[in-house]
Amino acid sequence: MEGAVLDVDGTVLRGDRMLEGALKGTDTLRDGGVRLVFFSNNPTVTSDGLAGRLRDAGVEVGDAVPLTSATLTAVHVEENCAPPVHVTGEGAVAEALRSHGVDVTNSPSDARTAVVSVDRDLRYADLREAVDAATGADDYVCTDPDAVVPTGDGDIPGTGAVEAAVSRAAGREPLVVGKPSETAARAALDALGTSPEDTVFVGDRLDTDIALGERVGSRTALVRTGVTSDADLSSSEHRPDAVLDTLADVSDLL
Ligand SMILES: [Mg+2]
């Protein structure tokens, strides 16, 4: 194995804290010469922000590549879509676009690309702008498919919920960039520079992390430290190649 794509929340971190086994797991992979990508579907942080979150929790980032759906969306739009871009979402999405040299506009009618993401301060006027942009733009892109985001205070509406409202009104479906899209899987492999057969995808969610690895035919490992219960696992169409109590058990895969 040459590369590992590691989910963050529920796999390496829970909230601001490092999960049991995460340090041992990442050390084991590094000691085995395995390159790492930390991959979060959270579109409210940039790659730099994710690296900061990991470091603050005591996770060594080193030469691992941090990826979020905000930065992946910026890369996708830069390579495939026309500017200017209208963004509905939190600051990280526009920040990531600008840092990739992409023009961002506040005017929905000028937008040639509309990007939709979760915005925890969303107002009706923002929703209206998002619908105008999505209706008129050449390309309509969504950062990630997550309908809800788990928090310490229960599940809150995520990008998928905002996107559903915009798409319903605009009468149009977006290209969805984050996990488990093919775009996301390829981006992770590109960041590692490894082939699918030499890469393992590790995470706590069957429908995103495990589906992501399955998309490119890589090995997959589910960790039990996050959201997936044994009942979820036995009733799922997704079949991870390994089930690990914590990330520390990734040593079994080397
Ligand atoms: Mg997770």
Centre of ligand 1 from the C-alpha of residue 154, in Å: 15
Query: How high is the pLDDT of residue 213?
Result: 98
Mean pLDDT of 33-50: 97
Centre of ligand 1 from the C-alpha of residue 51, in Å: 16
pTM of the model: 0.94
Confidence of residue 223 (pLDDT cuts 50, 70, 90): very high
Centre of ligand 1 from the C-alpha of residue 197, in Å: 22
Percent of the chain whose pLDDT exceeds 70: 100
Query: How high is the pLDDT of residue 154?
Result: 86
Centre of ligand 1 from the C-alpha of residue 109, in Å: 36
152, pLDDT greater than 80: no
Centre of ligand 1 from the C-alpha of residue 204, in Å: 5
Q: From residue 84, give the alpha-carbon distance in Å to each of 149, 159, 202.
A: 29, 21, 36
Centre of ligand 1 from the C-alpha of residue 43, in Å: 13
Centre of ligand 1 from the C-alpha of residue 144, in Å: 13
Question: Count of CB atoms within 10 A of residue 3's CB?
Answer: 23
Tell me the pLDDT tens digit for each residue of 82-104. Answer: 999 999 999 999 999 999 999 99
Say if residue 100 is exposed, middle or buried (CB neighbours under 10 Å; 0-12, 13-18, 19+).
middle
Centre of ligand 1 from the C-alpha of residue 213, in Å: 14
Q: How far apart are CA 112 and CA 70, in angstroms?
A: 19
Centre of ligand 1 from the C-alpha of residue 14, in Å: 9
Query: How high is the pLDDT of residue 150?
Result: 80
Query: How high is the pLDDT of residue 254?
Result: 86
Tell me the pLDDT tens digit for each residue of 153-205. Answer: 888 999 999 999 999 999 999 999 999 999 999 999 999 999 999 999 999 99
